[in-house]
Amino acid sequence: MLKKLLVANRGEIAVRVIRAAQDLGIATVAVYSDADRDALHVQIADEAANIGPPAAKKSYLNVANILKAAADTGCDAVHPGYGFLAENADFADACAGAGLAFVGPSGDAIRTMGDKVAARSAAHAAGVPVVPGSLGRIGSIDEARHILIDTGFPVMIKAAAGGGGRGIRIANDLAEFEAAFPQAAAEALAAFGDGGLYMEKVIAKARHIEVQVLGDGRDAVHCFERECSLQRRRQKVWEEAPSRALSPRIRDELCASAVRLTRAVGYSGAGTIEYLYDDEADRFYFIEMNTRIQVEHPVTEMITGIDLVAEMLRIAGGEPLRLRQSDIIPRGHAIEVRLNAEDPSRDFAPFPGTVSALRVPGGPGVRFESMLYAGYTVPPFYDSLLAKLVVHAETREAAITRLVRALSETRIEGLRTTKPLFLALAKDDAVKANAVHTRWLEGWLATHSSRLVPELEP
């Protein structure tokens, strides 16, 4: 078992990881930038180390400073959370090189599955259907023209190193493709340090369905699927488990394909295999793997009763998988919404500031994952996620009712948040019927967003 864990992250996920470690009796070290001296993760960890100025490049992405903090505090392990260094293969290798257990897959597994083109090849080789498109990186526009004969339009041009909904462009015809291709390459190079591109046919009106997996390098299990079709700018805003859209047969196939791929790459730790599901054709297609814990992991925890972060820590400590597939039984329905410091009535403009008062929702089936406390000032340097509200109930209908109840209890005074968006979505007929797809929310926002004015409590 691990003895002392450095958590190389901030915000709600640092809090989440520290809690899981403490529940297992593992000592914890928080790291923080100069902007995060008062942060909750610093307060609840057993120790804390400053790793530099507010800019992430100088602190949360500063490998040398993080490794020095781990050495100075006598840690034997590092959990990267999500974002920042979580999918950085060189960081995983650097941890291993410094004698630290990296709580995640090996650097080589990150290289294979974190590169979206390499992952497509691995999926294809494991017999998992991929979206029609280029087999590898696209070398030139000439090469792309040949592939476009098969895929047709519209197509997506995607960055091999993309993530977080960034590095994706749509082309509706050859002229658009030829104009977008060099721009996409330059943008990908600037944003991700890698200009590599690939392309995929656009699957219209698809759902985003993903499968949670756990592996120990030898064996793998799945913890069923999540549906994350409600997205804005290709970022998830509302996630649930299980998906109402799947038949038992397609669910079995989807989850079996995820386990096959996890085993094929000798994956160790928690991961998510993302797919698009086309209801009409009743077909699913692999899109990518996230080789880390995901933002929306709690919905899976709520329906399975598994603490995924604790399992990650056990696996990184060298324990074989404790869970057999037959032990993992889903119960009820869970929904998560992302409460961001953004004003949904003003195109989701960021709204950093100070939380003057806080009322946290509670009661049966309610979980509030957050780093907020009354008096906390949200720094402007990082992402805008304030809290994840997660509800669980016997049925999807009951979970939506409970979501409205818990949202109504929640008061984050002093900030504008995305709460009105979720109150409105929970009452929408299409959402209630789960008659949605990945582009649905953007259409809905075009007509509804002006009415989503957040209250600003004094």
Q: Which residues bind ligand ADP (CB under 6 A)?
A: 82-83, 131, 156, 162-165, 168, 192, 200, 202-203, 206, 208, 231, 234-236, 274, 276, 287-288, 290, 294-296, 383, 438
Which of Mg ion, ligand ADP, none has residue 53 at its interface (CB below 5 to 8 Å by kind)?
none
Which of ligand ADP, Mg ion, none has residue 156 at its interface (CB below 5 to 8 Å by kind)?
ligand ADP
Burial (CB count within 10 angstroms: exposed 0-12, middle 13-18, buried 19+), residue 255? buried
Which of ligand ADP, Mg ion, none has residue 153 at its interface (CB below 5 to 8 Å by kind)?
none
Query: Nearer to Mg ion by C-beta: 119 or 316?
Result: 119
Q: Is the peptide bond before 154 cis (omega within 30 degrees of 0)?
A: yes
Phi, psi of 61 (to 5 degrees): -110, 5
Q: How far is the CB of 425 from ligand ADP (least distance, A)?
A: 17
Query: Nearer to ligand ADP by C-beta: 82 or 368?
Result: 82
The helix/strand/coil state of 352 is coil
Residues making up the chain, counted from first to last: 458
Site string for Mg ion, 273-312 (x = CB under 5 A): -x--------------------------------------
Q: How far is the CB of 296 from Mg ion (least distance, A)?
A: 11
Opening angle at CA 390, ends 166 and 362, nearest 5: 145
Q: How far is the CB of 385 from Mg ion (least distance, A)?
A: 16
Query: Nearer to Mg ion by C-beta: 41 or 158?
Result: 158
Find the binding residues for Mg ion in span 245-274 (CB under 5 A): 274
Which of ligand ADP, Mg ion, none has residue 162 at its interface (CB below 5 to 8 Å by kind)?
ligand ADP
Write out the H or E segment, with its range, that includes residue 7: strand 4-7
Query: Nearer to ligand ADP by C-beta: 76 or 296?
Result: 296
Query: Nearer to ligand ADP by C-beta: 163 or 353?
Result: 163
Which of ligand ADP, Mg ion, none has residue 234 at its interface (CB below 5 to 8 Å by kind)?
ligand ADP
Catalytic residue among 226, 292, 338, 402: 292
Q: Which amino acid is at 324?
A: R
Q: Which amino acid is at 274?
A: E
Phi, psi of 13 (to 5 degrees): -75, -30
Q: How far is the CB of 130 from Mg ion (least distance, A)?
A: 14
Q: How far is the CB of 296 from ligand ADP (least distance, A)?
A: 5
Distance of CA 404 to the CA centre of its chain: 23
Those residues with Cβ within 8 angstroms of residue 447's Cβ, 6 or more apart along the chain or in another chain: none
The DSSP secondary structure of 217-242, one letter per residue, reads: SS-EEEEEEEEEEEEETTEEEEEEES
Those residues with Cβ within 8 angstroms of residue 81's Cβ, 6 or more apart along the chain or in another chain: 7, 8, 9, 13, 14, 17, 292, 293
Which of ligand ADP, Mg ion, none has residue 294 at its interface (CB below 5 to 8 Å by kind)?
ligand ADP
Q: Closest residue (Cβ) to ligand ADP?
A: 163
Look-up of token digits 């057999």: 324
Query: Nearer to Mg ion by C-beta: 36 or 274?
Result: 274
Phi, psi of 403 (to 5 degrees): -60, -45
Which of ligand ADP, Mg ion, none has residue 56 at its interface (CB below 5 to 8 Å by kind)?
none
CA-CA distances (angstroms) from residue 44 to 18, 59, 68, 77, 229?
8, 20, 21, 18, 34
Q: How far is the CB of 77 from ligand ADP (least distance, A)?
A: 21
Q: How far is the CB of 274 from Mg ion (least distance, A)?
A: 5
Those residues with Cβ within 8 angstroms of residue 102's Cβ, 6 or more apart along the chain or in another chain: 77, 78, 80, 91, 92, 95, 96, 316
Which of ligand ADP, Mg ion, none has residue 309 at its interface (CB below 5 to 8 Å by kind)?
none
Query: Nearer to ligand ADP by C-beta: 157 or 220?
Result: 157
In the 3-class helix/strand/coil scheme, how is 363-406 assigned residue by residue? CCCEEEEECCCCCCECCCCCCCEEEEEEEEECCHHHHHHHHHHH
Query: Nearer to Mg ion by C-beta: 274 or 296?
Result: 274
Q: Closest residue (Cβ) to Mg ion?
A: 274
Q: How far is the CB of 99 from ligand ADP (least distance, A)?
A: 27
User: Quick one: DSSP state of residue 96?
Assistant: H
Instruction: Report yes or no: 401 and 432 within 8 Å, Cβ to Cβ.
Output: no
Concerning whether 145 is annotated as a catalytic residue, the answer is no
Contacts to Mg ion by CB under 5 A: 274
Catalytic residue positions, numbered: 292
